[in-house]
């Protein structure tokens, strides 16, 4: 028997014997630090975006600061999953942390919007691996039947990021500089590297392989052209222009080329056979739509708080806490119930209904809406997301073969972040178009429209507040009306997610973890990679 087909026994701690609660907590301590790094980046950056675009550029660049990160993280996520299935996850997880830190430092050093967008893309290469690897490793060491109760710990990480991220981000932006929202990642990342080096012990897989770099390049190119299509269409170029038509044709051609490549590749980056699993295909679709609607629409809530309500970056972060706490409550609550009853299908259904309802309620925001009403609306929206995201990951990990756990987990994450990337540019396009239209109607004169548009597109919230009273009121009114359209456009995508959630199969949750499952496959003479302890 050759070396590739002969597997050595796993380390006893991570072998066929289930891990104790203490062993799982020890491993989770390192993983959650990495998750905290990515979660903090989302909450810290969101409150600083209005100030950043006012300093380096204008509102028309807002979506690209977010989109660049989402694009790169989306493109590399399937690659992380495939490589981790071949080589093991610990070293790849640490690699993701290092790249994330490099991108963070460079983002903080940016001198113009082009540099910031490029460096955010580098940061995204690391960020794409953080969530994917954490979720995959948890799938390795915790059985699906027991995984719900550990969602409380991941929920605590998001709760901490939800509370402290906006506070820290707003404080740094208001008191020091927005650049420090990136620099603050460095000490956290270094600590995460140290902890994972000592406490995270996982098997390493050794096997002959061929990484599908062509497939990875094709999907990256396809996502890029799709993003350019949604960002430029109707703003920079008309929808019938040769440039937009060419981008649409390129997106279709690249997607078809990717499908062809995956059918012929020995080790496809995204095995198309996974789509034969109905749980995987439905979960991926729900993830895409949820990411599209939520990332695309909710990213503009800090703009609403700072431009319309006139609050500081720090306070706007505090005012968004109901949204993020709703996500945490939905995630933790669903996890605890799933552990007790062993059923998961109902949660994406309820979550999608709440998400659609939440977007409708957000579309009712006015300049004078009372904050307690806004808090209720944001909490409902957050609950909708919390009841969906973690559950579709669990359902997917429970359904696919153990050998595909990393690839499938990363694929679902890929579709969610791809939805977020496309949604961010799509809704950013809608906001800019409607804002120009509403400013023209509100201001009532060419001169007023011109000055108002220049102020909104190129100014920070502090600069907008200094506008003459009539123009300032007109800007606020136009911005609120434009946001109404953005949130209303998110509802149909959430409605489709409801229909998909109804089709999600309900499968009994396994009582065995991924690594132990691989060990069982070995004992049953199923071919698995050569395994050694990290």
Q: 61 near 504, Cβ under 8 Å?
A: no
Q: Residue holding tokens 């659609």? A: 356
Which residues partner with 233 through β-bridges? 237
**Is-contact 531 10, C-beta < 8 A?**
yes
**CATH annotation of 12-212+266-533:** 1.20.1250.20
Q: Which phi and psi (to 5°) does residue 420 adopt?
A: -65, -40
**Boundaries of every domain in the chain:** 12-212+266-533, 213-262
274: left (phi over 0), alpha (psi -120 to 50) or beta: alpha
State how far the Cα of 73 lies from the Cα of 123, in Å rounded to an integer: 8
- In 3-state terms, what secondary structure has residue 531? strand
pLDDT of residue 253: 94
Q: What does the DSSP assignment read for 119-132?
A: HHHHHHHHHHHHHH
How far is residue 395 from each of residues 151, 204, 220, 334, 400, measured CA to CA in Å?
14, 25, 26, 13, 9
Residue 252: what pLDDT?
Answer: 93
What pLDDT score does 172 carry?
81
| Distances in whole angstroms, Cα of residue 230 to Cα of each of 65, 220, 226, 440 | 15, 16, 6, 23
Query: pTM for the whole thing?
Result: 0.71
Q: 187-223, pLDDT tens digit by residue?
A: 888 888 887 777 666 655 555 556 777 887 888 788 7
Dig out the tokens for 73 from the structure. Answer: 């993280």
Mean pLDDT for each consecutive 10-residue tract of the chain (534 residues)? 38 46 70 77 70 66 70 76 72 87 89 82 85 74 66 63 70 81 85 76 56 80 81 75 90 91 81 86 88 71 80 74 81 80 86 91 88 90 81 81 74 79 78 80 57 54 69 81 88 90 84 51 40 38
Three-class secondary structure of residue 241 per DSSP: coil
């Amino acid at each position: 028997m050759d070396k590739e087909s002969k597997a050595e026994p796993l380390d006893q701690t991570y072998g066929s014997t289930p891990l104790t609660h203490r062993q799982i907590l020890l491993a989770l301590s390192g993983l959650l630090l990495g998750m905290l790094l990515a979660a903090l980046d989302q909450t810290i950056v969101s409150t600083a975006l209005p100030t950043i675009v006012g300093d380096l550029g204008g509102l028309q660049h807002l979506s690209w600061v977010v989109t660049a990160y989402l694009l790169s993280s989306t493109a590399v996520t399937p690659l992380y999953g495939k490589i981790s299935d071949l080589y093991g996850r610990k070293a790849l997880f640490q690699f993701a942390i290092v790249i994330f830190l490099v991108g963070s430092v460079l983002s903080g050093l940016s001198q113009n919007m082009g540099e910031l967008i490029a460096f955010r893309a580098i940061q995204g290469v690391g960020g794409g691996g953080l969530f994917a690897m954490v979720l995959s490793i948890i799938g390795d060491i915790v059985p699906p039947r027991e995984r719900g109760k550990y969602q409380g710990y991941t929920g605590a990480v998001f709760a901490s990021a939800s509370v402290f991220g906006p506070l820290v981000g707003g404080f740094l932006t208001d008191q020091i500089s927005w650049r420090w929202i990136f620099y603050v990642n460095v000490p956290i990342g270094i600590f995460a590297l140290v902890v994972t080096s000592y406490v995270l012990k996982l098997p390493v897989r050794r096997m002959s392989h061929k990484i599908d770099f062509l497939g990875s390049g094709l999907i990256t190119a396809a996502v890029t052209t799709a993003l350019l299509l949604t960002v430029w269409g109707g703003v920079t170029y008309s929808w019938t222009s040769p440039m937009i038509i060419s981008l649409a044709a390129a997106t279709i051609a690249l997607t078809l080329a990717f499908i062809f490549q995956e059918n012929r590749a020995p080790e496809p980056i995204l095995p198309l056979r996974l789509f034969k699993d109905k749980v995987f295909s439905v979960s991926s679709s729900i993830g895409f739509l949820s990411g599209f609607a939520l990332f695309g629409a909710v990213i503009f809530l800090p703009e609403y708080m700072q431009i319309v309500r006139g609050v500081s970056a720090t306070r706007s972060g505090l005012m968004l806490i109901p949204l993020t706490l709703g996500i945490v409550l939905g995630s933790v609550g669903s996890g605890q119930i799933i552990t007790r009853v062993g059923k998961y299908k109902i949660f994406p259904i309820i979550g999608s209904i709440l998400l659609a309802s939440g977007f409708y309620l957000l579309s009712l925001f006015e300049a004078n809406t009372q904050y307690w009403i806004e808090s209720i609306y944001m909490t409902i929206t957050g609950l909708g997301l919390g009841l969906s995201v973690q559950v579709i990951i669990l359902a997917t990990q429970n359904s696919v073969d153990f050998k595909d756990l990393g690839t499938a987990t990363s694929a679902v994450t890929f579709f969610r972040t791809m939805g977020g990337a496309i949604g961010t540019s799509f809704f950013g396009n809608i906001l800019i178009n409607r804002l120009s239209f509403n400013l023209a109607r509100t201001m009532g004169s060419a001169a007023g429209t011109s000055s108002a548009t220049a102020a909104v597109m190129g100014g920070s919230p502090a600069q907008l507040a200094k506008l003459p009273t009539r123009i300032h009121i007109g800007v606020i009114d136009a911005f609120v009306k434009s946001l109404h359209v953005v949130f209303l456009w998110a509802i149909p995508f959430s409605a489709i997610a409801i229909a998909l959630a109804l089709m999600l199969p309900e499968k009994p949750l396994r009582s065995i973890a991924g690594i132990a499952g691989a060990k069982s496959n070995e004992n049953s003479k199923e071919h698995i990679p050569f395994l050694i302890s990290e």
